[in-house]
Structure 1
Amino acid sequence: MAEAAMEDPAQLWPPPVGTYAEEQGLFQILQNMLEELLIHKPDDPIEFMINHLKQNNDDAPKICILGPPASGKTTVAMWLSKHFDAIRVSQETLLFNETLALTEEAKAHKEKNQKIPNALWANLIQERLSNVDCIKQGWILEGFPENQEQAWMLQSFGIFPRHVVMLYASDTVLIERNSGKRLDPLTQEVYHTTFDWPSDPLVQERLVKPEDLSEQEVSKKLLEYHRNFPEVFQIYQKVLKSINADQPSVDVLSQVLTYVQTRHRSAAPFTPRIIFCGPPGSGKSLQAALIAQKYGVVNICCGQLLKEAVADNTNLGELIKPYIDNGWPGYFSLICPTSPSWSDCPSGERIPSLGKGTTPHSDQLPPQRSRPGSGRTPEMRKKILRSAWKPITGMSRTWRIFMKRPFMSMLTKTLMLSLSS
């Protein structure tokens, strides 16, 4: 038997261990720490891991905002920076940051109207993101990387964004939008003469027309962007989401925020916890049986459990027996914390569904229809209910599936693919 136990180490783990590891995100913590070790290769890995845990920045945002000219990258990046209190990093902020050692070299290229080399940009970004504020607060990288070489350089420095937002719009819209673009030199915020004009007169007076706004310059940048975009997309496709920029800014910001707040699927092992919900005849039992058979999970039927409780004469069984004997459909409301609602009994009585974490009062119970000679008063039933009531808490990684017959096979295949991937 000892050999059999050694062959299956999972059986040696008590269930609370897996639950604790899942709730605390231990797998993700260890995975992030291992990634940092392999990237930086410190001489003292123990001290490095201690410092990594002290930083406690695994949840800090690491976001890239990409897109063609005039797609709204600056607006989105500045808004996310304010929302998350993260550091916005763009080509403009890097060139005006006097504390960086490579800033002067980059400015020299800019003053000579020379293109700044990709390696210089990558080193500037790596130096900036290594500062304490970016490590603690997270960062929003705007408009970078622009091509495959820059993306590879960032990866070689250990810079991996968790979310990449790719804004897109038609070239006609972008060229038209670019003509009305205005810049506030004080705050670096971008406005538009038609779509986003500031209400403050002082801001209106400060606005200036950015450089390189000619249609020829924009067309040239768009051509270069379309040439490099497929390669960048290929590198970040697993963490990238494309969002249409040709819509109101509020809608764009809402979609961006929804995406960057999502967590990518973890590779951590977990125990599936699945709930099938649906009306009678929707196929819950069949789908649950198929999933249980394919993946070896335990199929728990609530109705069967209640019947077993009645047969075993438990407190809960004594409580729900009158409901089952009389064919009332409302006995589930006594054991499940649902939103306040009412269910109709066949005889016309109204049976209440209880709120989450609540215990019914005696006046909420249906009229007494106990078995002859039981002598159970409403107060006694109330006492039994309170002793048997156990609120059900929420479960992590719970999938709620509302079944409808036309979609039964499709949902089964989708769930099986999710479990097997």
Structure 2
Amino acid sequence: MTAIKSISGRRVWDSRGHPTVEVDVILKNGTLGRAIAPAGASRGTREAIDLRDGGDRLQGKGIDKALASVNGPIASALVGRDVNDQLGADTAILELDPSPLKETLGGNATVATSLALLHAAAANAGAPLWKHVADKYGCTPSLPLPEIQIFGGGAHAGRRVDIQDFMIMVPGAKTFDEVMEITNEVYFAAGDIMASRGNLAGVADEGGWWPVFKSNEEALETLVQAIEKAGEKPGENVVISLDIAASEFGKDGTYRLALEDRDMDSGQMIDMLGGWLDAYPIASIEDPLGEDDKAGMIEFTRRFGDRVQIIGDDYLVTSAALVEEAIADQACNAVLIKVNQIGTISEAVDTFRAAQKAGWGTIVSARSGETEDASISHLSTGLGGRQLKVGSFQRSERMVKWNECLRIQDALGQGSFAAGQSLANTWWGKANDKDKSE
């Protein structure tokens, strides 16, 4: 047994300049594990709540209460425990906070502590975090396929466009290096196109270009143009991925596209997105309907689940119970894994396993408020999650995670990359071939 000597929290700052929680776990043999809690701007109503101080100071986002949770009850419950018993430690944390959304201790306090414990155990074993995760949970490590933002939107860009993320994936790449090179070309091609139109206006929260478009669909058209300008054929090596984040502009089955000044019901929303799937090489779509629109998610999956990857984020909030429910309902076919959304590593792994058992896609994800912590690069690799969503190809809190994957690739070998995934919109290819023959 390697016992925990001390647990302490400190205030650090995230990519939006807001305070967040960093936790140090020190073992009796002197080994250190450290992790930082991220924070989301677009948040599901059922996800773990960051404990903030409120009031006028620091825009109400102070974390003294969360630090008190770490330095007080959490430390008292965990000091002396075996650091290798991740489940036991996470269970002890959960027993301290019976609230459903971790509002007593704060999800920011619990996730930073849980991740720091995992880091300490890996360091104590003398193993990189990805290998420790793979060994601990009996997984085959695999370097993930990136999902990378080109245009930001929604809550990440002042709601300048309604859709939150316009991204690309390169499932045709043979190595992680190749993905990075192609993404570089597409990203800067998109910037050049916007500059030529006089629309280059900086970057959004996650590093994607700030969206200066007259409609949501204009962003899709521009993204296709950027892929072509980069020398790629849309829908072959390079495909589009969207995060609609529909809960941000939809409620009770009504969706308000502010940019286009129109309202839609659930059926009209599904039809609009279906038209996009026909018209553009979209291979993955996240939260196409709101978290409260269960019937809409089931119908969208019924109509398009055999054509594209349909990811639940706000709809599933990294909850194993909600994933099991969605599997039974046949709503979604993939889940986004955000550790801070559920609050502990053990709960996130349970969700990952539930989805994987059903044959679903599993995408480990960052948040819009990020830091230099690269834990998710290791977590995705160690679990063999096969996809990783970090943000864009700019800003150091994003690039630190992509660059960590390149280092992991050197250790694992290029053959470990999750290449050749079946992420393609085959209908789009057929529809375009038909158009050309007519």
Q: What TM-score, normalized by structure 1, do the two folds share?
A: 0.21
Q: Which has the higher strand share?
A: 2
Question: With CA pairs under 8 Å and 6+ residues apart, which has the higher RCO, 1 or 2?
Answer: 2
Larger Rg: 1
Q: What TM-score, normalized by structure 2, do the two folds share?
A: 0.20
Q: Which has the higher helix share?
A: 1
